Amino acid sequence: MNNKPRRKIPFDELIACASCDWLHFRPIIEPGSRASCARCGHELYTRKPFSIDRTLAAALAGLIFLGLSLSLPFLSLSSGGISSSISVLDAVGALWDSNMRWLGLMSLAMIALLPTLRLALLVWVMLRLRFRLGVKHSMRVAMRWADWMEPWAMAEIFMVGVVVSLVKVSDLATLTVGPAFWSLLGLILTTSLISIFLCKDSVWQLLTTRSA
């Protein structure tokens, strides 16, 4: 009988496939490469080059676009010599005044509050990693919250609703999109870029291996 004690394998050296749960030793891959499951071929993780720098730049740009989209006129409407302009927050206020307060609060949260909070958390985490300011437990909590809020930040859903409304109202009045409209498009673009640039596995490796 072989009584040789078995080496304990640290969890950090293992990774499970999110598709079929097959357990792998974590391979070391080059930047720009990806590791795939040996059983089903599902992507295990990637090594995206310059992930922290690019994610930080996109998140900062997203915060700027979000601030512009909330503060500038979003849409101008004119009919019969009467014109008016509204902002994104005016639309939320209109829902509140129309006794649709829950819808107004949800719109405010998903268009403004959650995207702002998620982008701010990403900026804070990426800044500390970029300039090697040390890892804190709060950074890991912030990254978990940023991951959780990702599907709930729905600026693009709001834009789809706006486009549908524009098509319906265009025959009744003259519509002019304001700078906030284009800023919101910029926010949607930067949010998509964050999804492309962010290498979550690399970030979590840094957050769990570096000491504060």
**Given this model, what pLDDT does residue 68 score?**
93
Rounded mean pLDDT for each run of 10 residues along the chain, 212 residues in total: 60 80 82 84 84 96 94 79 76 79 83 92 96 91 93 75 69 78 90 91 82 47
**Given this model, what pLDDT does residue 212 score?**
44
Q: Closest by alpha carbon to 55, among 118, 109, 114?
A: 118
Classify residue 210 by its DSSP letter.
S
Residue 41, CA distances (Å) to 12, 30, 34 in order = 21, 18, 11
Classify residue 110 by its DSSP letter.
I
- Match domain 51-209 to its CATH number in 3.40.50, 1.20.140, 1.10.3470, 3.90.950: 1.20.140
**Burial letters 97-119, b for 16+ CB under 10 A, else e:** eeeeeeebeebbbbbbebbbbbb
Name the pTM for this structure.
0.81
The alpha carbon of 212 is separated from its chain's Cα centroid by a whole number of angstroms, namely 26
**Given this model, what pLDDT does residue 177 score?**
82
For 159, other C-beta atoms within 10 Å of its C-beta total: 16
Give the Cα separation of 46 and 196 in Å (integer).
11
Q: Where are the domains of the chain?
A: 11-46, 51-209
**Given this model, what pLDDT does residue 173 score?**
67
**Given this model, what pLDDT does residue 28 score?**
78
Look up residue 194 and give its two tokens.
Answer: 């964050």
